[in-house]
Amino acid sequence: MATLTRPRTAPAHASPKGKVRSRDGLWAAFFLAPQVIGLIVFLVVPLGFALVLAFMKWDGLGNQSWVGFDNFAAQLGDPEFGRAVWNTVKIALITVPIGLSLAVLIAVGLNSIKGGNFYRVLYFMPVVTSSVAVALIWQVILANDENGVLNTSLKNWFGITAPDWLGSPQWVVVSIAVVTIWSSLGLNVVIFMAGLQTIPPQVFEAARIDGASPVQIFRRVTLPLLSPTIFFSTIVAVISSLQAFDLIYVLVDPKDNEGAQTIVFRVFELGFQKFEFGMSSAASILLLLLTLIVTLVQFAAQKRFVHYDS
Amino acid sequence: MRTRQVALHVSLTVGGLLMLFPFVWMLLTSFKGTHQMLNNPTDWLPSPWLPQNYVEVLTGSTILGAFWNSFYIAVVNVALTLLTSAMAAYAFARIKFRGSGALFVLFLATQMVPPQVTIVPLYLMLAKFGWVDSHMSLIVPTIVNPFAVFLLRQFIRAVPVELEEAARIDGANRWTIFWRIVLPNIKPGLGAMGIIAFLAAWNSYFFPLIFLNTPELFTVPMLLATYAKQFGAIDYGLILAASSIAVVPTLIAFLIGQRKIINSMAASGLGGR
C-alpha cells in the first residue's frame, strides 16, 4: 500500500479546495474500484449479454442467428412455460400470506412473554440450515412409502390414507409451500420482533389505558405501526418466492413431477440441460419482468396499506 | 392475564416442537439399521442404535473434504467481500465525487436482477476464464455484494466525522483513515455482515450445481445433494446420516453465537434501519 501514500507536497499558495477535490476523485476511484469493476464484469456485462442472447438462437457452439422476438413468443406460447408461471404464482400465493401472517402472530406473542429468546432460537434453527438438508429431511418425512413417517402415522393412528405429498402435481405445490414456510418462518419472526421493538411502549400503554382490548390493540396499533416492516418483508418474500430454486429442486425432482416445475426450473432446464441459451435467456428475462411488475404493484399498493410516521 | 400467558406459552411450545421435529426425526432415523427401516419404519427410537450409516457416509463419500472446501471458500469469500464492500461503502459515505448518488442507486438496482438472468452468460464467461469446475467460480463473482455496501455505508455514516478530521490534521491520508479509524469503528457492522455473507456462502447450492463437476471439489450442500440422488431412493437412513453430518456442526455454531447471528439477520431484514 506504500505506493498509494501520496506525499503532502501541495505548496502553500495552491488553491487548497481544487487540490483536495481532484485528489478526492482519485481516492473515490481507488476505494470503489474492486466492487465497481466486479459489478461490471460479473453483473452488468452478463446482464447485457443475456439481453442480446434472448434475441438469438444459439446452442453455445458455432451456429448463431438473430431471431427477433421469436424466443419470447415461443416461451409465451409454450404451455410448459405457462404451467411454470402458474406453479410459481401458486406457490407464492400460499407461501407469502400464510408465512408472514404466522410470523407476525408469533413475533407479537414472543414480544409479550418472558423467556422469548428460547423460542426465538428454536424457530430460527431452520434458517441457518442449508436448503439442501432441509429438502432431504422433508423428503423422508413426506415420502409416500412405508418409511414416510407422516403418511404411515396418519394411516396407523387415524386410518387416513393421505395423498402422495411429493408425487401428485396438485399436492406438491402445498408441500413446497409448507417446507418453505417452515424454513423461512424464523427469519421473518426475528425481523418482526425487531420491528416491534422500534414502536415506543407508551403507544401501547396509552391504548391500554383507553380501554382497548388486546385484539383491538393488535388491529389498530400494532399492525399499522408494524406495516412498514411488513411491507419490506412482503417485497423480499415475494421476490424470493418467485426466484426459489434450491429447495424445490432437491425436494422433488421437477422432471418427475410437473407440479414442481417453476419459472426458474425452466430457465435452468433450457440453459443447462437442453443448451438452448437464447430460450433460457428469454425465459429469465420474462421472470425479471414479472418480478419488476409484481414489485411495482406492491409499491403502488403500499400507499393504501402502509402507515409511515410523519 | 395469567391464563393468557399460559396459553401463549403452550401454543408457542407446540409451534416450537413442530420446528424441532424434523431435526429430531433426522437424528433418530440416521441411527436406525436397514433391518429396522424395512420392518418397523415408524418406530420412534432406533433399536438398536447403530452407527453404521455414519461409518458408511464418512468412509464412502468425500464429505470431510467437502467441509474443508465449504469452509475455506466461505472464509476467503467473506474476507474479500467485507474488505471491498467496506471500501466502496466508505467512498459513498465520506468522499464527495461526481455521480455518487447515481452510482449508488445503480448498485442497489442490480439487487433486483435474479441470479438466474445472468447465470447463462456468466457460465459462458467463466468458462473462458477457465474458472468452470474450479473454486474461483464460487469465490469471486459473489464478492460483488451491493447489499453489503449498503449496510456498511449505514454503519460508516454513524461514525463521528470528528474522529476522521482529527486524523487528517495529523497528516493521515484516506487509506490510513479508512484502515485505522473507520474499520475499527464499524466492527459490529462487519461482524453482522460477515455472518450473513458466511451463511450465504456456506449454504449456497445454485452456483456449485452450475459450476462444479469434480466430486473432490464439491461443497457440503453439493455433495449432500449428489449423494442423496445416488442413494436416496434406496436408503433413507444413509441420507439422513449424511444430512446430520452436514447440519449438526452448523447448528452447534449457531447455538454458540445465536444472539449475534439472530440480531445480524434481523438488522439485515430491516434494511439496516
For the stretch B87-143, pLDDT in tens is 999 999 999 998 999 999 998 888 878 888 999 999 999 999 999 999 999 999 999
Q: How confident is the model at residue A31 (pLDDT cuts 50, 70, 90)?
A: very high
Give Cα separations from B241 to A127, B42, B215, B218 (angstroms).
20, 17, 19, 18
Give percent of chain A above pLDDT 70: 92
Would you give the distance in Å from CA A24 to the centre of its chain?
Answer: 38
Looking at residue A20, what is its pLDDT? 52
Interhelix angle B236-256/B52-60, rounded to 10 degrees, is 90
Query: What's domain A78-305's architecture?
Result: Orthogonal Bundle (1.10)
8 Å CB contact of A130 and B141: no
Q: Which residues of A touch B123 (CB under 8 A)?
A: 271-272
The predicted-structure confidence for B9-39, as pLDDT tens digits, reads as follows: 899 999 999 999 999 999 998 998 877 776 7
Q: How far apart are CA B73 and CA B67, in angstroms?
A: 10
For A246-256, what is the mean pLDDT? 91
Q: Which chain A positions have a beta carbon within 8 Å of B120's beta carbon?
A: 50, 53, 271-272, 277, 280-281, 284
Instruction: Return the ∠ at Cα B103 (arms to B98 and B105), rounded to 5°.
Output: 130
> Strand runs (DSSP E) across A175-302, as ranges?
none
Comparing CA positions, the residue from B138, B145, B177, B146 lying closest to residue B160 is B177
Smallest Cα distance from A160 to chain B, Å:
16
Q: Does the pLDDT of residue A16 top 70, yes or no?
A: no
The tens digit of pLDDT for each residue in A199-224 reads 998 999 999 999 999 889 999 999 99
Preferred mutation among B20, B24, B94, B117 to probe A, highest tally of A CBs within 10 A: B117
Model pTM? 0.89
B220 neighbors B70 (Cβ within 8 angstroms): yes
pLDDT value of position B269:
65
Task: Using CB atoms within 10 Å of the CB of residue A17, give its burial: 0 to 12 exposed, 13 to 18 middle, 19+ buried.
Answer: exposed
* Per-residue confidence (pLDDT) for residue A13, from 0 to 100: 41
In the numeric block, which cell numbers belong to residue A191? 425481523
Is B84 within 8 Å of A35 when comparing Cβ atoms? yes
Asked whether the beta carbons of residue A291 and residue B225 sit closer than 8 angstroms, the reply is no
**Measured CA distances, B136 to B68, B72, B202 (Å):** 15, 12, 15
Q: What is the mean pLDDT of residues B172-199?
A: 93
Residue range B192-248, pLDDT digits in tens? 899 989 999 999 999 999 999 999 999 999 999 999 888 766 688 889 999 999 999
pLDDT of residue A217: 92
What one-character-per-residue DSSP string does A140-170 give? HHH-SSTT-HHHHHHHHHH------TTTSHH
**Three-class DSSP category at A253:** coil
Q: Chain A: nearest CA to B258, how far in angstroms?
A: 7
Q: Are A192 and B270 in contact (CB under 8 A)?
A: no
Q: What is the nearest CA distance from B50 to chain A, expressed in angstroms?
A: 17
Q: Which of A11-15, A153-157, A193-197 has the highest mean pLDDT?
A: A193-197
What are the structural domains of chain B? Answer: 64-269 (1.10.3720.10)
pLDDT tens, residue by residue, A254-301:
888 999 999 999 999 999 999 999 999 999 999 999 999 999 999 898
Categorize the per-residue pLDDT at A15 as very low, low, confident or very high, splitting at 50, 70 and 90: very low
User: What pLDDT is stored for residue A159 in this prediction?
Assistant: 86
Query: How far A261 CA lies from chain B's nearest CA (Å)?
Result: 15
Within 8 A of B34 by CB-CB distance, chain A residues are none
**According to the model, what pLDDT value does residue B242 have?**
92
Give percent of chain B with pLDDT exceeding 70.
95
A1 pLDDT above the threshold of 60: no
Q: pLDDT value at position B265?
A: 81
* Contact (CB<8Å) B254/A277: no
User: Looking at the complex, does the CB of residue A105 fall below 8 Å from at least one CB of chain B?
Assistant: no
Distance in angstroms (rounded) separating the CA atoms of residues A204 and A195: 14
A278: distance to nearest CA of chain B, Å? 9
**Whether the Cβ atoms of residue B87 and residue A32 lie closer than 8 Å to each other:** yes
Q: Give the tens place of pLDDT for each residue, A73-94.
A: 999 999 999 999 999 999 999 9
A206-229 burial: b if 16+ Cβ within 10 Å, else e? ebeeeebeeeebeeebbeebbbbb
Q: Which residue of B has its CA nearest to A185?
A: B19
Closest CA relative to residue A153, chosen from B179, B40, B72, B208? B40
Cell of B194: 460477515
**Mean pLDDT to the nearest integer, A4-27:** 54
pLDDT in tens, B71-99: 999 999 999 999 999 999 999 999 999 89
Q: CA B194 to CA B179: how far, in whole Å?
A: 17
Most confident among A56-65, A149-158, B232-241 (mean pLDDT): A149-158
Element (H, E) at A292: helix A277-305
Q: Characterize B121-135 residue by residue with b for buried, 16 or more Cβ atoms within 10 angstroms of its Cβ, and e for exposed.
A: bbbbbbeeeebbebb
pLDDT at position B41 is 65
Mean pLDDT of chain A: 88
Greater confidence (A97 vs A63) lies with: A97
How confident is the prediction for chain B on average, in pLDDT? 90
**pLDDT of B233:** 63
For residue B232, give the nearest of A275, A139, A230 by alpha carbon: A139
Contact B175 A245 (CB under 8 A): no
Residues 208-267 of A with CB under 8 A from B: 214, 229, 232-233, 236, 239, 242-243, 245-246, 249-250, 264, 267
